[in-house]
Amino acid sequence: MPKLNVKQKNWLVSAHVIFAALWTGTVLSMFLLALRNQHSTDASVLQALNSAINLLDDYVVIPTAIGSLLTGTFLCWLTVWGFFKHYWVIVKWVATVALIIFGTFWLFPWANAATALSEAQRLQVLENPLYNFDAKGVLIGTIVQVACLVAVITISLLKPWGRRELKQQKPSKSATVS
């Protein structure tokens, strides 16, 4: 597969940065809504905040996380960076996949459960331990995700740790005999 030229690479990097920024900003917004939600005493506000968190997750976080993963994949595949040549690329890959797994199997279900419970039980949901667990999970999970995304973005900018030392393969005896 041919590598991207500089202009193509710059467009792809721009898309990657935009996806990462939208993902980070949206998760930060979800955190702020979850923080505000802790002090809700009005059933309509409680349900609206939970619904807003859920909508942001469904319509912004999921597509931007996937967009970030895909553009990162193409950047590794179609540029000299590669998948395993640099430690910073490997760390970004592991962190991105871990964040998507965390969001898919924990954060997303907590947000969905909190929304469903607040719709069904209105203000009485504040006495429900399952709702309190889910709401606290969204609050803590979003701040953890924001911190990790900021770390990933910082790694992208600084590119620490450098290039990996790849071991040179010794030519086999059959390749040297002609």
Residue 154 has pLDDT above 90, yes or no: yes
User: Is residue 9 helix, strand or coil?
Assistant: helix
Per-residue model confidence (pLDDT) at position 148: 97
For residue 170, what pLDDT is reported?
Answer: 60
Tell me the CA distances in angstroms from 118 to 35, 41, 44, 47, 131, one per residue in order: 16, 12, 9, 5, 8
Task: Find the mean pLDDT for residues 45-72.
Answer: 96
Residue 168: what pLDDT?
Answer: 61
In this prediction, residue 6 carries a pLDDT of: 92
Question: Is 70 exceeded by the pLDDT of residue 172?
Answer: no
The pair of structure tokens assigned to 157 is 């900018």
pLDDT of residue 167: 67
Contact indicator for 83, 93 with CB cutoff of 8 Å = yes
C-alpha closest to that of 48 among 118, 128, 124, 143: 118
Calpha distance 55→166 (Å, rounded): 45
Does residue 23 carry a pLDDT above 60?
A: yes
Alpha helices (H) along the chain: 6-37, 43-56, 62-78, 87-102, 108-121, 129-158, 173-176
Confidence of residue 162 (pLDDT cuts 50, 70, 90): confident
Alpha-carbon distance of 49 to 44, in angstroms, equals 9
Average pLDDT for residues 65-69, to the nearest whole number? 97
pLDDT at 174: 56
Q: Where are the domains of the chain?
A: 6-156
This prediction has a pTM of 0.85
pLDDT tens profile 92-108: 999 999 999 999 999 99
Stretch 119-136: mean pLDDT = 95
